Amino acid sequence: MNVVIRDLQFSYGSKDVLKNINIRADAGKILTVIGPNGSGKTTLLKCIAGLLKPKKGYVELNERKISTYKKEELAKLIGYVPQEISHGGVLTVFETVLLGRCLDLSWRVSDEDLDIVLRILEDFGIQKFASRNINELSGGERQHVFIAQSLVTEPKVLIMDEPISNLDLRHQLEILDLVKNWTKKNNIVAFIAMHDLNMAARFSDELVVLNGGENFAFGEPKSVLTTEMIRLVYGVNAKIYHDGNGKPQIIPIDYSRKSEYTQVEVKKMEKERFEFDWEKQWLERIKSKEKNASMDSVTDYWNKRAEDYADYIRTSDYDHGRKIKEIFEKENILKRDFEVLDIGAGPGSLTIPFAESVKKVTAVEPAREMCKYLMRNSKEKGLENIEVINKRWEDIDDAEFEKKFDIVICSHVIWHFSDIGKQLMRMNNASRRYCCIATSAKSESQSFDGMYQKLGLLTDGVQISDFIYLFNILYYRNILANVAIIDTVMKRSVSSGISMWELFLGRYREPT
CA separation for the pair 48, 8 (Å, rounded): 10
Q: Which domain holds residue 97?
A: 2-272
Q: In this predicted model, which residue has the larger pLDDT, 139 or 104?
A: 139
pLDDT score recorded for residue 247: 87
Question: Is 512 a member of any domain?
Answer: no
pLDDT score recorded for residue 267: 60
- 3-state secondary structure labels for all residues of 167-234: CCHHHHHHHHHHHHHHHHHHCCEEEEECCCHHHHHHHCCEEEEEECCEEEEEECHHHHCCHHHHHHHH
Counting residues of the chain whose pLDDT is more than 70, the rounded percentage is 82
CA separation for the pair 435, 423 (Å, rounded): 12
Residue where one domain finishes, among candidates 215, 246, 272: 272
CA separation for the pair 126, 381 (Å, rounded): 62
Q: Are residues 400 and 453 in the same domain?
A: yes
Residue where one domain finishes, among candidates 226, 248, 272: 272
Q: Are residues 413 and 322 in the same domain?
A: yes
Cβ neighbors of 200 (< 8 A, separation 6 or more) are: 32, 34, 192, 194, 207, 221
Question: Is 177 a member of any domain?
Answer: yes
428 pLDDT above the threshold of 80? yes
Q: Are residues 389 and 260 in the same domain?
A: no
pLDDT score recorded for residue 251: 92
Highest mean pLDDT among 103-112, 222-231, 374-383: 374-383
DSSP line for 449-499: HHHHHHTTS--S-----HHHHHHHHHHTTT---------------HHHHHH
What mean pLDDT, rounded, does the chain reach? 83
pLDDT score recorded for residue 260: 52
Task: Give ∠ CA 211-217-218 in degrees, rounded to 5.
Answer: 130
Q: Are residues 223 and 142 in the same domain?
A: yes
Q: Are residues 77 and 185 in the same domain?
A: yes
- Report the chain's C-alpha Rg in angstroms: 27
Question: Is 488 a member of any domain?
Answer: yes
Residue where one domain finishes, among candidates 255, 272, 289: 272
pLDDT score recorded for residue 460: 47
Residues 54/479/34/8 CA torsion (nearest 10 deg): 0
Q: Are residues 414 and 481 in the same domain?
A: yes
509 pLDDT above the threshold of 60? no
The total domain count for the chain is: 2
What is the domain-level CATH number for residue 92?
A: 3.40.50.300
pLDDT score recorded for residue 357: 95
Question: Is 19 a member of any domain?
Answer: yes
Phi and psi at 289, nearest 5°, equal -65, -35
What is the domain-level CATH number for residue 467?
A: 3.40.50.150
Question: Is 454 a member of any domain?
Answer: yes
pLDDT (mean) for 23-42 = 93
What tens digit of pLDDT does each residue of 459-507 get?
444 456 788 888 888 877 778 788 888 877 666 666 665 555 555 555 5
pLDDT (mean) for 179-194 = 94
What tens digit of pLDDT does each residue of 96-119 get?
888 887 765 456 778 888 888 888
Q: Are residues 244 and 292 in the same domain?
A: no
* Burial state string for 70-88 with b = 16 or more CB within 10 A and e = fewer than 16: eeeebbebbbbbbeeeeee
Least confident interval from 136-140, 150-154, 455-459: 455-459
Q: Are residues 167 and 263 in the same domain?
A: yes
Quick one: pLDDT band at residue 144, thresholds 50, 70, 90?
A: confident
Q: Are residues 325 and 234 in the same domain?
A: no
pLDDT (mean) for 117-124 = 87
DSSP state of 366: -
Q: Are residues 109 and 36 in the same domain?
A: yes
pLDDT score recorded for residue 479: 80
Q: In this predicted model, which residue has the larger pLDDT, 265 or 187?
A: 187
pLDDT (mean) for 335-363 = 95
Quick one: pLDDT band at residue 184, thresholds 50, 70, 90?
A: very high
pLDDT score recorded for residue 458: 47
Q: Are residues 335 and 401 in the same domain?
A: yes
What tens digit of pLDDT does each residue of 255-312 get?
865 555 555 566 665 555 555 688 888 888 777 766 555 444 667 777 888 888 888 8
Q: Are residues 28 and 77 in the same domain?
A: yes
What tens digit of pLDDT does each residue of 386-427 get?
999 999 999 999 999 999 999 999 988 888 888 999 999 999
Question: Is 511 a member of any domain?
Answer: no
452 pLDDT above the threshold of 50? no
pLDDT score recorded for residue 12: 92
CA-based max dimension of the chain: 95
pLDDT score recorded for residue 409: 96
pLDDT (mean) for 27-54 = 94
